[in-house]
Amino acid sequence: MSITLYYGSGSPYAWRVQLALEHKALPYEQKLLSFSAGDTRKPEFIALNPRHTVPTLVDGDFVVYESNAITEYLEDAYPGRGAPLFPGDAKTRATIWRLMMEVDNYGTKAIDGVTDYVFWTKSEEREPQKLVDARVAVTEEFAQMSRYIKGDFLVGPLSAADFSLYPLVAFMYRARVKLPDFDADSLLTPELRRWKARIEALPYFERTVPPHWKAA
């Protein structure tokens, strides 16, 4: 077994794969790529991933990209390692997949308004009402996800669904780097705030935090 993960610091899609690797207790080498330096556009990386995206995982002579595909591969390729990413019966596993798709199809769209305003819009070009509207969209989407929580995590046992959602929640708190007064707590229901704390209490969580976030 020789697993290498190519990732970008702060990529929510790469973060979910890092959490999955740690959850499966799989040893892996990390290759940090720089977006600003154009690392994903270099020939040696395009040879691995013609779509030049992260995360990209190399396991021996096998290459797979797209975070959900990577997560499924890790579960199938290493069924006896660590804890399962898709635990439970067929109905539970289908629910996990449904939640992962909801995160990708609705959750990421909801947070885009906040991230675009905070990280990609120049301060002199910001229109405050856009942030107000974006916060409403995030609050509504997070409330919907909160309704799914069963017990400690989204489907009861910790699963790939939790790892898909967590980075989106974390990015709302990261917004305070640019907007110190940004109230991220108010975007989350009490249940979701407790869920967030449980994720962050995982013994391997700190190993997955984006490197440039730790340096801030």
Summarised one tens digit per residue, pLDDT across range 149-170 is 999 999 999 999 999 999 999 9
Q: Is the pLDDT of residue 137 over 90?
A: yes
Q: Is the pLDDT of residue 27 over 80?
A: yes
Q: Is the pLDDT of residue 24 over 70?
A: yes
Residue type, 9: S
Q: Is the pLDDT of residue 215 over 80?
A: no
Instruction: Look at residue 139 and tell me if it is in a domain.
Output: yes
Instruction: Look at residue 96 and tell me if it is in a domain.
Output: yes
Domain boundary among 77, 101, 126: 77
Residue 196 makes CB contacts below 8 A (sequence gap 6+) with 166, 169, 170, 188
pLDDT at 1: 66
pLDDT at 15: 98
CATH number for the domain harbouring residue 28: 3.40.30.10
Instruction: Look at residue 82 and tell me if it is in a domain.
Output: no
Mean pLDDT of 40-45: 97
Phi, psi of 89 (to 5 degrees): -85, -175
Instruction: Look at residue 206 and tell me if it is in a domain.
Output: yes
pLDDT at 214: 83
- CA neighbor of 160 nearest in space, from 13, 4, 5, 11: 13
Q: Which two tokens stand for residue 43?
A: 């020939």
Clarify whether residues 94 and 173 are in a common domain. yes
Three-class SS state of 91 = helix
